[in-house]
Structure formats: structure tokens, C-alpha cells
Amino acid sequence: MTALGRVGVWLGALGWAPAAVERDVAAEVEELGYGALWYSEAHNGKESLSHGALLLAATRRIVVASGIANIWVRDPMAMVGGANALAEAFPGRFVLGMGVSHPPQLAPRGHSYSRPVATMRAYLEAMDVADYTGPRPVEPLPRLLGALRPAMLELAAAMADGAHPYLVPVEHTRRARSILGRGKLLATEQFVVLEDDPAEARRLGREAIAWYLTLPNYTDNLRWLGFGDDDFAAGGSDALVDALVAWGDEEAIRERVALHLEAGADHVCIQPIGGDADRLGLEQLRRLGPALLEL
């Protein structure tokens, strides 16, 4: 299995940055010592596999992981061909995270969202029998599923190398590990902001999670974890924001990441939000590195 390290970085904003900026950011994240660099795929942003190639070519050692590649964007054979090309060209450095996405991401492409678990199962089955005759990676290509609730987590355990949950509290990590069992990779995303003032930290947290609270996949998952309508109102209750966004000083962020690791995560990818977001969170990543990379 590709070594992600204990702590990585999730930078969705890379999808809207010029390539020259991305190269510099990726190189610095690598030099800071983080184990992996995760990037997103939106319906109106950069295509996932070509984006991964850009980041891999800009770096030398760090693992690059798609979080997530939308399965509706390319057929299973295209996914196999593109991902294997990256894994062969950059041995041990590419992780394919895949997911079923959300209705607002599919409608502009003319797709209808339905039966997500069955759709993902059929997609993985088609990947497994795809006729790929290009050079094979020396190491098997790791594939993770963007999994939140039990059925998709069970599929990740049965047909993938693990799961990449997004927008989840520590309790989800505990439940996900129980469902995945031992030996499957659990790579959890965590919003972070270096902000000591509770009111300001929660304001920034609400800004960060607002769009996600419009998506049933996330709110249904949060309901499974015990949150309800009152928590989703007005941008999110304090309890919800505090569960989803780690805020405070370096030690507070370290404690949250450590809790995920203790709950069963193999890898936690932090996503900085807040005042330096326009600079892709680099200042926070510089400050957090010494506290997190010793975990």
C-alpha cells in the first residue's frame, strides 16, 4: 500500500489556481514534510487525472491523491487507463480516490443522480475487468472510495483499499473503522483554522461548511451521527461547527488530529480555512507542520 504518512494536506482551492501557483504550493507542501497532497474535482474545475499529473510532475516524493475523482465524469475504462498511467509514471505516489459526487455536480453534465451504492459497485466491477494493455504500475494502484454512511463504507471494505470520508467528526472515524475493519486504509479529511477567538473561528467555520449543508449526502451522514435540523439551521450550530472544524492554536489542532488517529484513522488530511485561504492556507500549514508531523 502506498505510504500516505499520518498527516497530509487537502487543498480543494488548487482547482482554481494557475498551474504556476499550484507547482509552487505543491513543492512547498512537500518540503514542509506532509505525507500527501489531496485535491478535488468540481464540475466546473480542472479534470481530476490531468490535474493529478500536474501535481505529481511538480513534486518529487509526496503522495498525490484525488479527493475525489467523480465517477460520472469518465467511464470505468478511462478511469483505469488514466489512473494506471499516473501510477506507472510516478511509482508509489498516486492514490485514486473516487466518489459518486452530488446532484448539483451532475446536473450540468446531463446526468441524473440515483442509486449511489449500486452505481459505485457496478463501476468498480467494470474497472476490475477493464481491458488495459498499457504498462502496469510496479505497485498496485490504491483506490479509495469517498464513503460516509455504512453501505458505502461496506463497499469500500469489500471492493476497494479503503475510504476517504470528508466533512466528518471524530465519531465518524470511530464508526468508519468499525465498518471497514482492520487492514483497510482510512484517510479522513479535517477542516482546520488557527484562530483562538471562538466567535471568529465559528464564523469562519460556518463559511467553510455552508455549501456542504445544502447537500443531502452530508446532512444525512450527520443525522446518522446524531445531529438534526437545529444543527443545520443558520449556518450550523456551535456544536456542529466545533465537531467539523478544528480551531484554536497549534496544540488544539494537534489534539483533534490525534483524536482521529486514536479513533482509527490511518491518515488525516487537514484543510486550512480562514484568513490565508486566498494563499491556499500556506501560512497555517507552515505553523502546523512542527506540531502535526511528529504524530
| Predicted confidence (pLDDT) per residue in 26-74, tens digit | 999 999 999 999 999 888 889 999 999 999 999 999 999 999 999 998 9
Spatial neighbors of 144 by CB under 8 A, at least 6 apart, are 65, 95, 96, 97, 98, 156, 160, 161, 162, 163, 164, 185, 187
The total number of structural domains that make up the chain:
1
Which CATH number belongs to the domain containing residue 90 in this structure? 3.20.20.30
163 assigned to some structural domain: yes
The whole-number average pLDDT for the span 263-268 is 98
User: What's the domain range around 35?
Assistant: 7-292
Say if 69 falls within a structural domain.
yes
Residue 1 lies in a domain: no
Residue 135 lies in a domain: yes
259 against 3, higher pLDDT? 259
Predicted confidence (pLDDT) per residue in 140-173, tens digit: 999 999 999 999 999 999 999 999 999 999 999 9
Q: What is the pLDDT of residue 276?
A: 64
pLDDT of residue 114: 72
2 lies in some domain: no
Look at residue 238 and tell me whether its pLDDT is greater than 80: yes
pLDDT at 113 over 80: no
Q: What is the mean pLDDT of the segment spanning 61-89?
A: 96
pLDDT at 1 over 70: no
Q: Is residue 81 part of a domain?
A: yes
pLDDT number for residue 42? 84
In 3-state terms, what secondary structure has residue 185? strand
Q: What is the pLDDT of residue 134?
A: 95
